[in-house]
Chain A
Amino acid sequence: MAKWVLRVVVLGYLGVLLLLPIGLVLERTFAHGVGPVWDALSAPSAVHALRLTVVIALATVVLNTVFGVGAALLVTRSRFAGRRLFNALLDLPLAVSPVVVGLALILVYGKQSPIGHWLANRGIDVIFATPGMVLATVFVSLPLVVREVAPVLEEIGVEQEQAAWTLGATGAQTFWRVTLPAVRWAVAYGVVLTFARALGEYGAVAVVSGRIVDHTQTATLYVEQQFQGFEQASAYAMSAVLAALSVISLLIANLLRPEDERR
């Protein structure tokens, strides 16, 4: 009995919070069939926004994967002063509001700051440009790869790596042939999570982008602008695309998960 009550409560909660809103978005999107949706999505600004979002997400995935695997190795494989602090700092992006992240990036890379000034003199714009938006997205999704990979590295231990050393493998050979293959599913899972998170990032990107239509407007910013401008059809259409991409990412993540747990 108690089991049933729990199930109803949990499913009801999920339904009201998750399924109902997403379902309504889909319903609104396709209320007048597929035609209008296609028209809304093929508008030049919509295409640009989607393309920019995907570029930022891919750049974030690459940076985050390299940094995430490196940081996971550092946290699990070496002992250094401040390791615990470093470990704690890795979770900071989860705790800090994305808006604060955006403002902080403007402080560091804005044209008024020495760093931003120096970069601008060399023709590199960070704020109100793609690099700043990538930085913001990297910041908010920073822990996703590390937190997937580090526990697996911890669990597999150092013996396989030491065995590789005794067989003559250099550090790099050991990494590519032994360590990375052993954590590949965790890396893949982290990548998918990062990608999904990067697609949906709004707050930090909104601050650093300047929301310039056809220039620094991502898909989420596009949804917001269209919605404010009473262009509800295109707002819903883009929302549906973002929701679909997220669902696909999570499905991929779930397909990877069992593989990970079987090992």
Chain B
Amino acid sequence: MSIQVNHVFKRFGDFVALDDVSLDVPAGGLTALLGPSGGGKSTLLRVIAGLEQPDSGTVEVEGRDVTGLTPQQRSIGFVFQHYAAFKHMTVAKNVAFGLEIRKHPKAEVRRRVNELLELVHLEQFAERLPAQLSGGQRQRMALARALAVQPEVLLLDEPFGALDAQVRRELRTWLRRLHDEVHVTTVFVTHDQEEALEVADSIVIVNQGRVEQAGTPRELYDEPASEFVMSFLGPVTRFQGQQVRPHDLVLHPEVQGAAVGAVVKRVTRLGFEVRVDMEAEGEPLWVQITRAAAAELDLEPGDVVGVTVSTPAPVA
């Protein structure tokens, strides 16, 4: 089911959370709302869910205006950052909740719960309480609970934000695979650009209550519409007054032709890549190069090298 958000405004007191936001989420895709904390992305997700009412503007699901509908009427699945597990219910009861509310027959509920627990690899934890699960397991339970009612739209609010780095990485790969299996239109909120780039089919950058840019990960990374988008999506450095990606700069042993001379200040080896901090034309600058390139140049602090920009062109 596709989602359209049209000219939504939302303020909390004096704070403008959403400032004329319009958005198109294609059916069946996995879309990330990416931006810094307090930028309005969670509010936008909650407006889509019906957990917040916009001051003005509309939300449509598959062309149907749902702005006035309660969350109960919207056929959405919602996953919270802190799981929102029903603490007094077992894992199986949590997953069964939406089905029991809808008064599905007992046998069908049991079958569906088993199916979902298998999908999220929690079948052996069915009779445990949420408190007996790890954070990652609780979030998978919350996901199964949201999917149980076969929502038209799945919304996830910083779903991996409360988990540690390794579990986060595991779960996002797993979410991607799950989405490829289930195919429900999914929107998730994150402030982690790596997460968005890795998991999403399309990314919407939200900042200060506005949509900065929307597009595929490649479009946003290679053709950022603003300095903000560029700096938010990956590392940047300033070269000749312009923002460039540090891996788009090339170092040469001699200062020749169009190359700009730079003095090496510090060389840091970070596994696969090497970070070279330099100073060019009185400004600090850093470059990301491969181990092989670093070995060939054999850089030492104090060395003078030439710097040029490779494609793509930097943003003005």
A positions within 8 Å CB-CB of B: 156, 159-160, 162-170, 173, 177-178, 181-182, 184, 263
Contacts and interface: CB of A to CB of B under 8 A. Distances in A.
Given A167-B97, A184-B88, 5 more contacts: A159-B80, A165-B70, A167-B101, A181-B88, A181-B89
A181 B149 CA distance: 23
B101 A168 contact: yes
B145 interface: yes
A168 B77 contact: no
A154 to B, nearest CB: 15
Contacts of A173: 101
B120 interface: no
B97 A164 contact: yes
A163 B101 contact: no
A155 to B, nearest CB: 11
Contacts of A169: 72, 97-98, 101
Interface of B: 49, 51, 70-72, 74, 76-78, 80, 82, 84-89, 97-98, 101-102, 131, 142, 145-146, 148-149
Contacts of A159: 80, 82, 84
20 contacts: A159-B82, A160-B86, A160-B87, A162-B51, A162-B78, A166-B49, A166-B71, A166-B78, A167-B98, A167-B146, A167-B148, A170-B72, A173-B101, A177-B86, A178-B86, A181-B89, A182-B86, A182-B88, A263-B87, A263-B131
A163 to B, nearest CB: 4
Contacts of B87: 156, 160, 182, 263
A159 B88 CA distance: 14
Given A159-B80, A162-B51, A162-B71, A168 B86 contact: no
Contacts of A181: 86, 88-89
A166 B76 contact: yes
The winner among A169, A182, A184 for most chain B CB atoms within 10 A is A169
A178 B98 CA distance: 12
Contacts of A160: 84-87
A170 B145 CA distance: 17
A166 B77 contact: yes
Contacts of B98: 167-169
Nearest to B142: A163
Interchain residue pairs A-B with the least CB separation, the first 9? A167-B98, A159-B84, A166-B78, A163-B84, A165-B71, A181-B88, A166-B71, A168-B101, A169-B101
A213 B49 CA distance: 63
B146 A166 contact: yes
A166 B149 CA distance: 10
A155 B112 CA distance: 32
Contact of A168 (B51, B84, B102): B102
A170 B71 CA distance: 10
Nearest to B70: A165
Nearest to B89: A181
A54 B166 CA distance: 59
Contacts of A162: 51, 71, 78, 80, 84
